Homo-oligomer: A and B are copies of this chain.
Amino acid sequence: MYVIVVYDVDVKRVGKVMKFLRTYLNWIQNSVFEGELTEGQFYKMKNGLSKIIKGKEDSVIIFRMPDDKFVEKTIMGIEKNPTDNLI
């Protein structure tokens, strides 16, 4: 599966969220990660995130697509983190 994670969390937790997500996905822009995950990795990532964020203050949105062939990605302007092009 292909996953995009966007987050808006308290500045106290941004570093921790970023460090955690880096172990699963690629950082592509401020507060945005993307990448391929297995079912197991997906649930472990979600579970780990739920332990870091504060549900009443922070916001995380996870978009999950069955496969990256369903996702066309267009970059306008600068590419903040040129990963080898997954798509």
Which residues of A does B touch, CB under 8 Å?
Answer: 4, 6-9, 28-32, 46, 49-50, 53-66, 70-80
CB contact between A30 and one of B31, B46, B72 (< 8 Å): that residue: B31
How many copies, total? 2
**Shortest Cβ distance from residue A30 to the other chain B in the assembled complex, whole angstroms:** 5
CB contact between A61 and one of B53, B58, B74 (< 8 Å): that residue: B74
Verify A46–B70 contact, CB threshold 8 A.
Answer: no
Contact residues in B for A57 (Cβ distance below 8 Å): 77-78
Inter-chain CA distance A53–B74, complex, in Å, is 14
Verify A76–B60 contact, CB threshold 8 A.
Answer: yes
Verify B63–A76 contact, CB threshold 8 A.
Answer: no
Inter-chain CA distance A57–B7, complex, in Å, is 22
Contact residues in B for A78 (Cβ distance below 8 Å): 55-59
**Shortest Cβ distance from residue A79 to the other chain B in the assembled complex, whole angstroms:** 7
